[in-house]
Structure 1
């Protein structure tokens, strides 16, 4: 059973359906001058070949790397923000759900996400994102702790490291408490809920503020035959939730945001300062007297040099709501071979925290 899903519309990259005042770039043009204009605020349309867009982005990276030389995590985040702002002025035309250039990849999301538009412009980085997402969706993501292959939906965060899933699986294998009602906050691609199901939990209330996550997990539950075991809801934290749970599971973002968060994957990676206080306050109202809160976290912020405290420890120190019942850690191994994400997170450990209500 799922709630309010009929009213949810997929979040998709913004498009331009009108004529654009832009520079049309062909291979024999001056690429340095074109990139300079793009940084200054002009739109550029990649014409003729798909690879022309790749050439422009390559030159843009080179030009910005001369300006942003700080190699720290914070410095590289500033570089990425500048690159993102400029690169989204590079457009490519879509016609009849296909990229209107030669030697372009087939991106299935163009048909699934834009059935109502026949011709438009979209930013080249958004096309790259859709193309990468489509390849993961078609090939699937093998999750050994589940012994199944997931099909992650567009705009939904999914892991390429699985140590936190192994830690959670280890906990579930030894869990001997009641399994009547579970709430998962931030269902994402559904992995934790599916682990719960495979360990005997049959009544899971899963929620996410990301529309695409809810849509994607809804598709996956049907494909995997789990739809009778999960109730899905689109909302912020415990919004619309009237369940009192034996277990509340939350795999929150691991790094505090220093920028304004966008909807979707951005909120899966970074958290606003008030997220954890709001979570703990609401969790206390939805947890049975003998229930447990299971949080999956990491020391990633400290590993990458961010000056932030562990919000779970802060909750235990500063409020009288919960006590620590269990704390497990596990070293993080290298990324999946199929991902191109940089593996620069040495000494990272994932953590599993189990909190219980303090007896009154």
Structure 2
């Protein structure tokens, strides 16, 4: 199924294993003064109870909200950036894969991601993220278009809205072309590849820059019985790909980045300059003459910022590489009730684009 996956190690939150100069926070301490020190650059260690960390973060949010009053998308991005920088100086101690404070959650990722470290400090928000991810992983997320429960790996993007999956499912059920080979770029949690398999594609090359995505999909293939159907590769776009496909599937990030991207979910949500041009240029070399490129996108960027460019439309207008065969849209419904992601996407529609190579004259 996979080549050289044994050498891939999961990306995990940064930890501190040495002694550090820090303030220990207990519940009876002056929380306002503690947060002031944290904003100024001091480390703070959560002591006694896990909930003490929640108190500090609550005060931090309150303090920063007085400074960052702009409620626009850009203004809130600045607020989140400041909160992230300060909050990651709030630390919690881990010993033998367990939080040392009382009444803390049992986070299974601590054991799976740090089997080689017995004692360390990690930021409180990272623990929150790992805890949330672990809950999703344990309970799974039902994918009705697949009739399976997905168990998403840590720091891997997974869907909490399903309208784009329904669009893809609708197209797959009507597709009557060759199903010999398919490529998925940006496999994520594996949903689209699994949809391809359930619709008759049994030889899929799937790639992702995110190492955790490759590890997670590999484990899911074993669990779901798809290990003979997918070849996984960790790399950028078509790196290490030597096949030509009947169908190339790409669900790219939907918003252009205005910040330095981190590996993992960040790169699944935001794209950098040049991504789409590189994709289209490379796709030409991996698409069979009568093959199709299927791209899932959204008008989210235009909803957020009306002057935002649409990279697929730009490709069709400005380059002579592909023609549009089909364009489907679907209104976006609310997020899964279990997710805590903000649902501020009014007027958003997901899109499915089917492109074919232009015939050379």
Give runs of aligned pairs for residues 299-338 of structure 1, distance below 5 A.
Answer: 299-305=299-305, 307-338=307-338
- TM-superposed CA distance for 1:143, in Å, is 0.6
Whole-Å Cα distance in 1 between the matches of residues 4 and 256 of structure 2? 30
1:295 aligns with 295
Indicate whether 1:31 and 2:15 are aligned.
no
Indicate whether 1:190 and 2:190 are aligned.
yes
Q: Deviations over 1:110-159 (max 9, x none)?
A: 00000000000000000000000000000001010110000000010011
2:121 aligns with 121
1:134 aligns with 134
Whole-Å Cα distance in 1 between the matches of residues 101 and 348 of structure 2? 43
- TM-superposed CA distance for 1:343, in Å, is 1.2
2:104 aligns with 104
Indicate whether 1:231 and 2:231 are aligned.
yes
Q: What TM-score do you get using the length of structure 2 for normalisation?
A: 0.99
* Aligned-partner SS, 1:6: helix
Structure 1 runs (4+) greater than 4 angstroms displaced: none
Indicate whether 1:167 and 2:157 are aligned.
no
Whole-Å Cα distance in 1 between the matches of residues 73 and 162 of structure 2? 23
Whole-Å Cα distance in 2 between the matches of residues 72 and 196 of structure 1? 39
Q: Deviations over 1:144-181 (max 9, x none)?
A: 01100000000100110000000000000000000000
Of the structure 1 ranges 267-276 and 299-308, higher mean CA displacement relative to structure 2 is found in 299-308
Runs of 5+ consecutive residues of structure 1 not aligned to the other structure? none
- TM-superposed CA distance for 1:20, in Å, is 1.1
2:54 aligns with 54
Whole-Å Cα distance in 2 between the matches of residues 30 and 228 of structure 1? 59
1:95 aligns with 95
The number of residues matched between the two structures is 360
Q: Deviations over 1:72-130 (max 9, x none)?
A: 11111111011000000000000010000000000000000000000000000000000
- TM-superposed CA distance for 1:306, in Å, is 5.7
Change (3 A) 1:306 1:81: farther
CA contact (8 A) 1:46 1:53 kept: yes
1:76 aligns with 76
Whole-Å Cα distance in 1 between the matches of residues 154 and 341 of structure 2? 18
CA contact (8 A) 1:4 1:234 kept: no
Give runs of aligned pairs for residues 257-268 of structure 1, distance below 5 A.
Answer: 257-268=257-268
1:286 aligns with 286
Whole-Å Cα distance in 2 between the matches of residues 100 and 176 of structure 1? 57
- TM-superposed CA distance for 1:305, in Å, is 2.4
- TM-superposed CA distance for 1:307, in Å, is 3.3
Q: Deviations over 1:26-53 (max 9, x none)?
A: 0000000000000000000000100000
Whole-Å Cα distance in 1 between the matches of residues 241 and 4 of structure 2? 12
Whole-Å Cα distance in 1 between the matches of residues 50 and 100 of structure 2? 9
Please report the RMSD computed on the Cα atoms of aligned residues, expressed in angstroms.
0.6
* Aligned-partner SS, 2:293: strand
Of the structure 1 ranges 126-135 and 333-342, higher mean CA displacement relative to structure 2 is found in 333-342
Give runs of aligned pairs for residues 201-220 of structure 1, distance below 5 A.
Answer: 201-220=201-220
Whole-Å Cα distance in 2 between the matches of residues 310 and 106 of structure 1? 43
2:243 aligns with 243
* Aligned-partner SS, 1:34: helix
